[in-house]
Amino acid sequence: MKSRLFFDKIYKRIFFGAAFLSVFTLLGIFGMLLINGLNMFSEVSVGEFLLGRVWNPAAYGEAKYGILAMMASTGLVTIGAMAIAIPLGIGTAAYLSEISSPRLAAILKPIIEILAAIPSVAIGFLGIVLVGPFLANVFGLNNGLNALNGALLLAVMALPTIITVAEDAIRAVPKAYKEGSYALGANKWTTLIQVTLPSSYSGIIAAVMLGMGRAIGETMTVLMATGNATSMPEGYFSSIRTMTATIAIELGEVPFGTTHYYSLFAIGTVLFLITLAVNLLAERIAASYRKMGQ
Amino acid sequence: MLLVFGSSCGRPGVEKVSIKGSDTEVNLVLQLAETFMKDDPDVSIAVTGGGSGAGISALLNGKADIANSSRPFKSAEIEIASGREIDAKAIIFAIDALVLVVNPATRMDSLSLAQVGAIFRGDFQNWSDLGGPNMPISLYGRQSNSGTFVFFREHILRDEYSQDIKQMNGTAQIIEAVKSDPAAIGYVGIGYVVNKVGEVMEGIGVVKIQTDSSQAALNPVEKKHIISGAYPITRPLFQYVNGQASGKLLEFIRFELSSAGQRIVQENGYFPISSQQAQHNQSILPGL
């Protein structure tokens, strides 16, 4: 009896430690980004950093540290990717869980999951040799290294996450809801749109936000496929350089301890805060729908 | 345990040399290293790219024996070197001509240096401004870790690049982009433009360069314009070592500068060093 209680205590400690390890890691990363990033503001004002349109730290003349254009670029590809991936992802999830035969779903699901395993560098390569020339052809452009290319590739990369999580959410809707709907004379389509999907909203929103997080943070694919021009994007046919690509390109050669070095950490901090905001928002929305469901 | 480790790392007595840096130089140095290793099985040379900036920081961090660089050290790098007591010595082992490459659809046969600078600063937006077809100019360049990026900015632009320039990962990517984009112009080292027998690769146009309006436009692919120094955009290709090199490292550099090494330099489209540069090398690294 005594030893049972003893082990109970030990396990409690272990799991407590495991839970806090990730919290500490998160705080550690954020602290490291913040401490390094804040160093740059002795040279550059916060306003210049967040609202400046020119990013040119290794300049011929005066160095410029404005990240507005790259924030707009990250926003542009993320919104584009979500516009493609959300309807496609939720549609696929609904099909897999509600419409397709279990046998077909058993074949399709693993294939979709394999999509998540393709390395981002391979997808970026496809962007250069396949999607780029295709876009140039279809839209009559000179080249396809632009935001649309990046958005398409990111949509492909976000799809497996969205589909898997959304499908689980839809499957978790109690059978009684659907049976109630059928009993009232609703057909399969009406039941899906008006009963099943609304009652799995919290899970679907979580799926979308997870996919969005993937798109915001993705680096290699956008670095390869979007052309890396630092100018303010004018639309989906502009060449762009995202925040992640900027960090990846410049961190390799920047001299340690310079304003340029710290500015890359400051970009990392902003990126962290954006994803944090996305996650908190997702949590909020999901919680409010959960309440509605009860 | 030690034995296992030793055998998995290669034969004992094999000296290792690691070379990192310039994307312009990487193919050339790789070929030099392969030829050198064929005759000397007791040395293993690893050559990687990443850009001149990456090579220099590898040398400064003690992670490379040679930094390939197509630009001299920046003042910040000199400071770091002296702070870490690194005695960076530069030898010149080849001469490069920077080539302006365009897609043939731009119909740009020749440009003046001033026009090239203006194009890359973004002063011209459309090829029609330069007598070409009505197409917006697509600029292709390298990233700031590239020595070529820095050299071109210091010597041709003398100002900032246009913000619309697409920053490509390496020279090979610029060549691919110029081939497929009808409105493209880019700058590359000559080794990426010509094949073994000195012919320009298919699908790209080499722009003849006019130093000023009183002079004829010169084609960098014609060797005599480089040898005579008339072609305006040439530059030395450097290799930096830390202090007096010795052993296989010194032997390899000696091989690069030998007539056999300089022949490989020319086979790759670059140009041999002059006798003054050879003398300069010897004063930097006695024993060459």
Q: Which residues of B touch A228 (CB under 8 A)?
A: 143, 166-168
Q: How confident is the model over B37-89, as pLDDT tens digits?
A: 999 989 999 999 989 999 998 999 889 999 999 999 988 889 889 998 999 99
Contact list in A for residue B165 (CB cut-off 8 A) is 229
More confident site: A294 or A16: A16
**A255: which residues sit within 8 A by CB, 6+ positions away?**
A261, B57, B76, B77, B80
Q: Taking CB atoms and an 8 Å cutoff, what residues of chain A touch B153?
A: 60
Asked whether B97 and B272 are in contact (CB, 8 A), the reply is no
Q: Is the pLDDT of residue B8 over 60?
A: no
Measured over the CA atoms of residue B273, residue B275, residue B278 and residue B280, the dihedral's sign is negative
- The answer to whether A72 touches A55, Cβ cutoff 8 Å, is no
Phi, psi dihedral angles at B181 (to 5 degrees): -100, 115
- Residue B236, chain A, CB below 8 Å: the answer is no
pLDDT band at B158 (very low <50, low <70, confident <90, very high): very high
Q: What is the pLDDT, as a whole number, of residue B244?
A: 87
Q: What pLDDT band is residue B3 in, cutting at 50, 70 and 90?
A: very low
Q: Measured between CB atoms, does B76 come within 8 Å of chain A?
A: yes
Between CA B237 and CA A45 the distance in angstroms is 39
CA atoms within 13 A on the CB side of B166: 33
* Residue with the larger pLDDT of the pair A44 and A286: A44
Instruction: Name the residue facing B163 among A128, A229, A249 (closest C-beta).
Output: A229
Average pLDDT of the residues of chain B: 91
Q: Which two tokens stand for residue B122?
A: 């973004």
The answer for A259, left when phi > 0, alpha when psi is -120 to 50, beta otherwise, is alpha
The number of residues making up chain A comes to 294
pLDDT for the residue numbered A202: 87
Residue B4 has pLDDT above 70, yes or no: no
Angle between helices B23-39 and B259-267 (to 10 degrees): 140
Q: How far apart, in whole angstroms, are the C-alpha atoms of residue B262 and residue B257?
A: 6
**pLDDT given for residue B5 in this prediction:** 42
> Quick one: pLDDT at residue B287?
81
- DSSP annotation of B129 reads G
Q: Tokens 């294939």 map to which residue?
A: A111
Tokens standing for A72? 């707009």
Q: Is the Cβ of B163 closer than 8 Å to some Cβ of chain A? A: yes
In the stretch 46-75 of chain B, residues with CB closer than 8 A to chain A read: 50-51, 53-54, 56-57
In tens, the pLDDT along A241-279 reads 999 999 999 987 787 788 999 999 999 999 999 999 988
Half-sphere exposure of B103 (CA within 13 A, CB side): 23
Do B144 and A60 count as a contact with CB atoms less than 8 A apart? no
The C-alpha atoms of residue B90 and residue B52 are separated, in whole angstroms, by: 13
Rounded Cα–Cα distance for residues A120 and A158 (Å)? 11
Chain A (80-119) residues lying within 8 Å, Cβ to Cβ, of chain B: none
CB B133 within 8 A of CB B106: yes
pLDDT score at B11: 56
| A58 contacts chain B (CB < 8 A) | yes
Q: At residue A167, does pLDDT exceed 80? A: yes
Our CA-based measurement puts residue A44 at a distance from the nearest CA of chain B, in whole angstroms, of 19
ipTM for the predicted complex comes to: 0.85
Residues in chain B: 288
Look at residue A186 and give its three-state secondary structure.
coil
A62, closest residue in chain B (CA to CA): B160
How many A/B residue pairs have CB atoms within 8 Å? 82
Query: What pLDDT digit, counting tens, does each position of A9-61 carry?
Result: 899 999 999 989 989 999 999 999 999 999 999 999 999 999 999 999 988 88
In percent, how much of chain A has pLDDT > 90? 78
The tokens for B233 are 């955009």
Chain A residues in contact with B154 (beta carbon < 8 A): 60
Residue B87's CB is within 10 A of a number of other CB atoms, namely: 10
Predicted confidence band of residue B134 (pLDDT cuts 50, 70, 90): very high
Q: What is the pTM of this model?
A: 0.88
**Pick from A56, A128, A249: which is nearest to B160 by CB?**
A56
**Cα(B269)–Cα(B191) distance, integer angstroms:** 5
Between A5 and A14, the more confident residue is A14
Contact residues, chain B, for A253 at CB < 8 Å? 51, 53-54, 56-57, 144-145
Q: What is the DSSP string of B189-222?
A: EGGGTB-TTSPBPTT-EEPEEESSTTS--B-TTS
Nearest to A285 by CA among A224, A228, A227, A212: A212
What is the pLDDT, as a whole number, of residue A29?
94
pLDDT greater than 80 at residue B7: no
Q: Do B144 and A58 touch (CB under 8 A)?
A: yes
List CB contacts (< 8 A) between A145 and chain B: 166, 177
* pLDDT tens figures, B185-195: 999 999 999 98
| Spatial separation of the C-alpha atoms in residues B27 and B47, rounded to whole Å | 9
Structure confidence by residue, pLDDT tens digits, A52-79: 999 999 888 899 999 999 999 999 999 9
Most distant CA atoms of chain B, gap in Å: 72
Identity of the residue numbered B138: S
B86–A contact, CB cutoff 8 A? no
Q: At B43, which helix (H) or strand (E)?
A: strand B43-50
Q: Which of A193, A203, A240 is nearest to A81 (CA)?
A: A240
